[in-house]
Amino acid sequence: PGPVAHPPICLLSHSACSATVKSLLFPSETSTSYVDLSPLKSLTLSAFTLCMRVATEVQVGSPVWKVLKVVSLSRLSFYLSGDGVYFSVPELGALETHVCFTWDSQSGATAVYLDGRKSLTKIYKKVHVVRAGGKVLLGQDPDNFLGDFDAQQSFVGEMYDVNLWDSALSPSEIRDLASGRQVQRANVIDWATVQVQSHGEVQVLSREL
């Protein structure tokens, strides 16, 4: 059987949806605003899918997460260690965009998706394993995590529906996610239940769907 659509108010990836969901607002450039997320399990990963919904009006480089960074709004990258992998994509903007990254260690296959549309596949970090002990951080440049953050490298905008799986979801599953259809619940970061610790000017909002 094909995927089952949620009721109209339920636009997120999790199956236990409600009429409201938390959303993170980063209102301005600062060196103090960021969010920690508490994963459900170890961050030892040989594959993953990371998805989120993002809106921003900032037209300069703006980092999003430790393994995901918007280098410019038309160039996405993420990195596991050392050099990153880069994708040229349409600009993100004030209208919400569903963004996903997938990576599989066995093949090294890596791709980015915008609103369910897949990029070309690139090979990155074949047979690499993400080791435990990583930090799940939103809103600041991970390059500076061990020191002071740089306000000019901070994320400005809104994000929600941040989910992380320990497998590479298929293109059809990601299309379903972008459309608000039901897929397997995220088993590393589940936005429906994740513990959020905000710092600085970050506002944790409750938004209606």
CATH code of residue 27: 2.60.120.200
Does residue 13 sit within a domain?
no
Q: Which amino acid is at 93?
A: G
Range of the domain at 73: 20-208
Does residue 15 sit within a domain?
no
Does residue 193 sit within a domain?
yes
pLDDT computed for residue 10 by the predictor: 42
Range of lowest pLDDT (129-133, 142-146, 198-202): 142-146
Q: What is the pLDDT of residues 98-112, one digit of tens each?
A: 999 898 888 889 888
Does residue 78 sit within a domain?
yes
Say how many domains are in the chain: 1
**C-alpha span between 156 and 150 (Å, rounded):** 13
Distances (CA, A) of 51 to 29, 161, 175, 191: 23, 7, 11, 10
Distances (CA, A) of 10 to 21, 35, 183: 10, 25, 13
Higher pLDDT, 58 or 34: 34
Does residue 138 sit within a domain?
yes
Q: What is the pLDDT of residues 43-100, one digit of tens each?
A: 777 888 989 999 987 654 444 443 343 333 333 444 444 456 666 666 778 889 999 9
The pair of structure tokens assigned to 90 is: 């349409």
Whole-model pTM?
0.76
Backbone φ and ψ of 153, nearest 5°: -105, 10
pLDDT computed for residue 176 by the predictor: 95
Residue 150's pLDDT band, with cuts at 50, 70 and 90, is: low
DSSP string, the chain: -PPPBPPTT--SSSSS--SEEEEEEE-S--SS-EEEEE-SS---BSEEEEEEEEE----S-EEEETTEEEEETTEEEE-SSSS-EEEE-PPP-SS-EEEEEEEETTT-EEEEEETTEE---EE-STT--BPTT---EESS-GGGTTS---GGGS--EEEEEEEEESS---HHHHHHHHHTB--PPPSSB-TTT-EEEEETT-EEEEEE-
Distances (CA, A) of 62 to 67, 71, 96, 150: 13, 6, 16, 11
Does residue 5 sit within a domain?
no
Does residue 93 sit within a domain?
yes
Q: Which amino acid is at 22?
A: K
Is residue 12 scored above 60 in pLDDT?
no
Does residue 44 sit within a domain?
yes
Look-up of token digits 């199956």:
15
